[in-house]
C-alpha cells in the first residue's frame, strides 16, 4: 500500500459535521493559547486565513488513519517508529537536494533498523510543516538592540532586523506552499522507485566515503543485497518494494494555521488536521487546560505529546483521558524527552506510576531536547554520547517496566553539518564552527544519524 489514496476513497460519503463539532474546532480561542504570533494588522490576518481555508488539504484522512494503524503496531512491539528531520525547517532550505538527503538519511536509518533489528519501521519526517518554534523568551537582545524572537519561518524571518522579525500573516500561506512542494517531493521519492530497497546502495552516494559509518552501511547494504537476491531466486514479487510509506509530522503550534487547515472527513463527518499526518504538542504547551490540548483533542489524526522530566503519571493519565478517551490504538503517542542525566530516574518512575492504565499508548524517545547545552565557545549543541545514553536509558526503563520502547524522535539533517559534538568524526567545540547551519536546535548529521541507527539496532536485538 502507498500514500496515494484514490479520490474515490476520499469522496465516498458526504457526511457533514455537526454544529457542535464545528464550534469545538474554535474552542481553543478562549483559552489564551501560549506561543502564538502577535499580528498587528487584523485585516491582513483575516485575508491570509480566508485563503488558507480554501486551499486543498496537504494530507488525506485515510492516510492519517493508515498511520494510526502503523503506530498501533509499534505500541504492540510489532513495529518501530522512526521520526526525524530538522528542528526548524526553513523556506530557503526546501530545495530538492536538501529534502532528498533528509529522506535518504531516514531511509538509510530505517534500512539499518529493519535489517539489524528485524523490525518493520514506520517512517516519518519532521517535514513539510515543521516551521513554527516555541521560544523561551519573546524577545532577543543583541548589542543593545531588542527585537522579537525568531519563531520559525511560518511566523517571522531569522535575520535580525525589525522587518525580518515582524510577525507576518502572509507567511502562513508560504508555509502551506512550501509544505505542499516538500510533500510533493516526498511522495515522488517514496512512491516513484527511489525508496526501492534494491537501491539501498545508492542512498549512500554523495556522502563522505571515508568515514566508518558509511563503510559499515555499505557492508550492511551488501548483506541486504544478498538477501534480496536470495528472495528473488525464490520468486518473490518485488513490485511492492518500489513504494514505501513515508509520513509527515510536525509540532501543532500555530493554531490559526492548524485551524484553517482542519477539514471534515466526508467518510465519517469528523475533523482531521490536514497540515500533516501526525501532529504533536510540545513540552511548553501540553498543560491539560491548554488551547493546544483542546484543539488536538478535536481532530482524529494520530497525535503525540512531549513529556519532559517534570511530567507526572497524573499528567499523563489526564492527557490520555482528554486526548484519547476511547483508548484507540495508535491515536496517542507519548514522546519522552527527559535528558541523559534524568531518564534513568524519571522514566522508570513515570512508567511505574502509570502502571497498566494506558495499554494503547505508544511510547517513543526524543533523546534530543533534554540534552541541549551551550559550548564554551557559545554554540547551542548536544553531545552525541548524551543522546545515546538517553536512548539506552529509554530501552532499559521499558525493559524493566515490561512496556514497549516504540520508537525514536530525532533532529537530523542529511547534510554533513557540525552541530552535535562527538560521533565517529569526533566533532569537538572548535569543530562546531566548521558547518553550524541550524536555525534553532543542533541536528545529528548524516554520519551521526547512521551511527545512531547501528547502535539502536543493537538495542532492538537485545
* Least Cβ distance, residue 301 to ligand PEP (angstroms): 17
Structural Rg of the chain based on CA atoms: 21
Binding partner at 283 among Mn ion, ligand PEP, none, C-beta below 5 to 8 Å by kind: ligand PEP
- Compare residues 87 and 254 and give the one whose CB is closer to Mn ion: 87
Length of the chain: 462
The candidate with the shortest Cα–Cα distance to 419, out of 455, 446, 391, is 446
Binding partner at 277 among Mn ion, ligand PEP, none, C-beta below 5 to 8 Å by kind: none
C-alpha–C-alpha distance, residues 178 and 382, integer Å: 29
- Compare residues 304 and 330 and give the one whose CB is closer to ligand PEP: 304
Binding mask 427-456 for ligand PEP (x = CB under 6 A): --------------x---------------
431 with 418: CB under 8 angstroms? yes
Q: Is 132 in the site for ligand PEP (CB under 6 A)?
A: no
The residue within the footprint of ligand PEP, chosen from 369, 382, 398, 446 (CB under 6 A), is: 369
Q: Is 282 in the site for ligand PEP (CB under 6 A)?
A: yes
**Cα dist from 225 to 109, 198, 238, whole Å:** 16, 7, 13
Terminal Cα-to-Cα distance of the chain (whole angstroms): 30
Candidates 155-163, 190-198, 278-286, 289-297; binding stretch for ligand PEP (CB under 6 A): 278-286
Q: Is 87 in the site for ligand PEP (CB under 6 A)?
A: yes
* Least Cβ distance, residue 284 to ligand PEP (angstroms): 6
Name the strand (E) or helix (H) holding 190: helix 170-191
Binding mask 388-427 for Mn ion (x = CB under 5 A): ----------------------------------------
Binding partner at 337 among ligand PEP, Mn ion, none, C-beta below 5 to 8 Å by kind: ligand PEP
Q: Is 389 in the site for ligand PEP (CB under 6 A)?
A: no
Q: Is 259 in the site for ligand PEP (CB under 6 A)?
A: no
Q: Is 134 in the site for ligand PEP (CB under 6 A)?
A: yes
Fill in the DSSP letter of residue 134: -
- Compare residues 168 and 283 and give the one whose CB is closer to ligand PEP: 283
Residues that contact ligand PEP, how many (by CB under 6 A): 10
C-alpha–C-alpha distance, residues 434 and 414, integer Å: 16
Name the strand (E) or helix (H) holding 220: helix 212-233
| 204 contacts: CB under 8 Å, gap ≥ 6 | 108, 214, 217, 218, 221
What residues form DSSP beta bridges with 265?
Answer: 270
The residue within the footprint of Mn ion, chosen from 441, 444, 448, 451 (CB under 5 A), is: 441
Q: Is 337 in the site for ligand PEP (CB under 6 A)?
A: yes
What residues form DSSP beta bridges with 122?
Answer: 81
* Least Cβ distance, residue 306 to ligand PEP (angstroms): 4
- Compare residues 133 and 398 and give the one whose CB is closer to ligand PEP: 133
Candidates 140-148, 228-236, 279-287, 435-443; binding stretch for Mn ion (CB under 5 A): 435-443
Q: Is 87 in the site for Mn ion (CB under 5 A)?
A: yes
Q: Which residue's Cβ lies closest to ligand PEP?
A: 282
Q: Is 251 in the site for Mn ion (CB under 5 A)?
A: no
C-alpha–C-alpha distance, residues 90 and 440, integer Å: 10
Q: Is 86 in the site for Mn ion (CB under 5 A)?
A: no
C-alpha–C-alpha distance, residues 362 and 75, integer Å: 4
Binding partner at 134 among ligand PEP, Mn ion, none, C-beta below 5 to 8 Å by kind: ligand PEP
| 407 contacts: CB under 8 Å, gap ≥ 6 | 74, 80, 81, 82, 83, 122, 333, 362, 364, 365
Q: Is 335 in the site for Mn ion (CB under 5 A)?
A: no
- Compare residues 81 and 440 and give the one whose CB is closer to Mn ion: 440
**Cα dist from 249 to 83, 238, 244, 411, 425, whole Å:** 8, 28, 16, 12, 30
C-alpha–C-alpha distance, residues 313 and 133, integer Å: 27
- Compare residues 87 and 200 and give the one whose CB is closer to ligand PEP: 87
| 432 contacts: CB under 8 Å, gap ≥ 6 | 375, 377, 379, 381, 418, 419, 421
Binding site for ligand PEP (CB under 6 A): 87, 134, 251, 282-284, 306, 337, 369, 441
Binding site for Mn ion (CB under 5 A): 87, 441
Amino acid at each position: 500500500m502507498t500514500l496515494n489514496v484514490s479520490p474515490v476513497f476520499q469522496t465516498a460519503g458526504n457526511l457533514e459535521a455537526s454544529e457542535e463539532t464545528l464550534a469545538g474546532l474554535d474552542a481553543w480561542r478562549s483559552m489564551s493559547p501560549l506561543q502564538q504570533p502577535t499580528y498587528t494588522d487584523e485585516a491582513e490576518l483575516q485575508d491570509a486565513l480566508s485563503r488558507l481555508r480554501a486551499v486543498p488539504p496537504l494530507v488525506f484522512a485515510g492516510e492519517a488513519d493508515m498511520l494510526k494503524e502503523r503506530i498501533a503496531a509499534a505500541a504492540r512491539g510489532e513495529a518501530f517508529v522512526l521520526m526525524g528531520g530538522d528542528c526548524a525547517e526553513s523556506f530557503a532550505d526546501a530545495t530538492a537536494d536538501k529534502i532528498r538527503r533528509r529522506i535518504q538519511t531516514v531511509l538509510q536509518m530505517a534500512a539499518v533498523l529493519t535489517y539489524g533489528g528485524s523490525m518493520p519501521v514506520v517512517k516519518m519526517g519532521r517535514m513539510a510543516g515543521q516551521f513554527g518554534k516555541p521560544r523561551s523568551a519573546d524577545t532577543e537582545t543583541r548589542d543593545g538592540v531588542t527585537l522579537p524572537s525568531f519563531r520559525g519561518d511560518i511566523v517571522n524571518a531569522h535575520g535580525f532586523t525589525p522587518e525580518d522579525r515582524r510577525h507576518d500573516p502572509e507567511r502562513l500561506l508560504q508555509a502551506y506552499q512550501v509544505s505542499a512542494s516538500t510533500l510533493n517531493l516526498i511522495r515522488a521519492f517514496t512512491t516513484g522507485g527511489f525508496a526501492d530497497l534494491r537501491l539501498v546502495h545508492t542512498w549512500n552516494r554523495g556522502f563522505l566515503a571515508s568515514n566508518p559509518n558509511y563503510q559499515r552501511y555499505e557492508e550492511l547494504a551488501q548483506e541486504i543485497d544478498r538477501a534480496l537476491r536470495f528472495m528473488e531466486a525464490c520468486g518473490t514479487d518485488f513490485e511492492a518494494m518500489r513504494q514505501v510509506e513515508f509520513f509527515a509530522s510536525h509540532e501543532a503550534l500555530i493554531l490559526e494555521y492548524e485551524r484553517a487547515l482542519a477539514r471534515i472527513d466526508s467518510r465519517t463527518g469528523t475533523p482531521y488536521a490536514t497540515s500533516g499526518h501526525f501532529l504533536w504538542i510540545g513540552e511548553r504547551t501540553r498543560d491539560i487546560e491548554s488551547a493546544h490540548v483542546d484543539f488536538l483533542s478535536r481532530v482524529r489524526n494520530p497525535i503525540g505529546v512531549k513529556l519532559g522530566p517534570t511530567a507526572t503519571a497524573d499528567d499523563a493519565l489526564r492527557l490520555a483521558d482528554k486526548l484519547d478517551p476511547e483508548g484507540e490504538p495508535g491515536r496517542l503517542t507519548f514522546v519522552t524527552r527527559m535528558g541523559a542525566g534524568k531518564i534513568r530516574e524519571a522514566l522508570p518512575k513515570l512508567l511505574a506510576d502509570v502502571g497498566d492504565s494506558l495499554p494503547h499508548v505508544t511510547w517513543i524517545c526524543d533523546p534530543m531536547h533534554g540534552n541541549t547545552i551551550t559550548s564554551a565557545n557559545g554554540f547551542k549543541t548536544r553531545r552525541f554520547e548524551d543522546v545515546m545514553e538517553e536512548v539506552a536509558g529509554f530501552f532499559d526503563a521499558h525493559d524493566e517496566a515490561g512496556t514497549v520502547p516504540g520508537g525514536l524522535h530525532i533532529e537530523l539533517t542529511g547534510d554533513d553539518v557540525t552541530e552535535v559534538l562527538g560521533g565517529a568524526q569526533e566533532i569537538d567545540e572548535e569543530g562546531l564552527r566548521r558547518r553550524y547551519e541550524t536555525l534553532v536546535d543542533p541536528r545529528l548529521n548524516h554520519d551521526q544519524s547512521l551511527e545512531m541507527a547501528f547502535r539502536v539496532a543493537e538495542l532492538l536485538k537485545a
